[in-house]
Amino acid sequence: MTLKIGVVGTGAIGQDHIRRITQALSGAEVVAVNDINPQQARDTVAKYGLHAEVHADGEALIASRDVEAVLVTSWGPTHELFVLAALAAGKPVFCEKPLATTADGCRRIVDAEIAAGRRLVQVGFMRRYDVGYRDLKKTIEQNAIGTPLMVHGAHRNPAVGDGYKTDMAITDTLIHEIDVLRWLLRDDYTSAQVIYPRKTRNASGHLADPQIILLETTTGIRIDVEVFVNCVYGYDIQCEVVGETGIARLPEPARVLMRSGAKRSVEILTDWKERFIDAYDVEIQAFIDGVRTGELTGPTAWDGYAAALIADACVKAQRTGAIEPIAIPPRPSFYDA
């Protein structure tokens, strides 16, 4: 049976997920949409040729008998409300990052899911589905570079809008590294520090850009991640793991190597949607398959909660300039694999 999905939030990523469910993936259809901007929701239905009802609000969509599973792709501050509503209705829910904008909000979701007695939440940390990160993880786990000692990372965007604030370097951008590196290393963080290099002239007045975030893990691995969201030249994600006997790097996206005009060159992507397009496909297919087989396997609400606690410590470190401790409570056995 085809899974009937309702999508709350028809902005950039909402539409992208609707496109993939409708045109690229199998086993599901979008039967309901909602956006606080109803015209955009209607336009989305027309654009993708959906046979979908446009609901007046997210709660009505979630309550609808036609909707078997929910995608929450609205603005971050609305996520907690919609995920809790899906849990109350006993419906599986895929929620884009952040799971909630506060750690307390994430914890409420964790508690509601545990009370429901089965896994119903998958969080949109899509990098775990990226083939490059998966190969990097395999390389580390096969002991090909020895014990990891350090990680150097970078998350660069060509430009951000004026609404992007300094703390969003953590809550919107670094959040992907926060999640993927604890998954990659099977480790958790114990402290965070933020350093501000010389500021780029391409950032708006209120924004500190670039930033360097230093993290330490329970096993003593040192991580530095450069977040640079007005780097101009492209959307560029870098990750290098230094081990005791070797170094492993995240592969670059496959692109044609050109020889032309006395130069060798390879295109650098500029759009995050393209950079992880395959990972998003695999992620949403995993959600569809997990719901249909009754076994969700992707990033959990606990991962969303842990990421929020870590992000809080990083945001505090932005303000204090100090090394801030990170304490993550023991994971409930409910989330054991």
**Alpha helix locations (H) across 73-215?**
79-88, 103-116, 131-141, 168, 175-185
Please pick, from the candidates 32, 35, 67, 309, the single residue that binds ligand NAD as defined by CB under 6 A.
Answer: 35
Residues 6+ apart with CB under 8 A from 1: 292
Which residues in this chain contact ligand ISE in the complex, by CB under 6 A?
Answer: 157, 172-173, 176, 272
Q: Of ligand ISE, ligand NAD, none, which one sits near residue 157, judging by CB under 5 to 8 A according to partner kind?
A: ligand ISE
Q: What is the DSSP letter of 96?
A: P
Q: Which residue is nearest to ligand ISE (CB)?
A: 272
Please pick, from the candidates 36, 63, 89, 149, the single residue that binds ligand NAD as defined by CB under 6 A.
Answer: 36
Phi/psi at 213 (5° precision): -110, 130
Quote the least distance from Cβ 231 to ligand NAD, whole Å.
17
Beta bridge partners of 211: 227
Quote the least distance from Cβ 133 to ligand ISE, whole Å.
13
# residues near ligand NAD by CB under 6 A: 24
Beta bridge partners of 54: 33
Q: Of ligand ISE, ligand NAD, none, which one sits near residue 10, judging by CB under 5 to 8 A according to partner kind?
A: ligand NAD
203 to each of 135, 173, 227, 241, 305, how far by Cα in Å?
Answer: 34, 15, 13, 29, 30
126 versus 185: smaller Cβ distance to ligand NAD: 126
Please pick, from the candidates 3, 53, 78, 149, the single residue that binds ligand NAD as defined by CB under 6 A.
Answer: 78
Which residue, 242, 290, 312, is CA-closest to 118?
290
Alpha-carbon torsion angle 85, 104, 186, 239, nearest 10: 90
Q: Of ligand ISE, ligand NAD, none, which one sits near residue 78, judging by CB under 5 to 8 A according to partner kind?
A: ligand NAD
Q: Of ligand ISE, ligand NAD, none, which one sits near residue 37, judging by CB under 5 to 8 A according to partner kind?
A: ligand NAD
Q: Of ligand ISE, ligand NAD, none, which one sits near residue 137, judging by CB under 5 to 8 A according to partner kind?
A: none
**Footprint (CB under 6 A) of ligand NAD, residues 213-242:** none
Provide the 10 A C-beta neighbour count for residue 237: 23
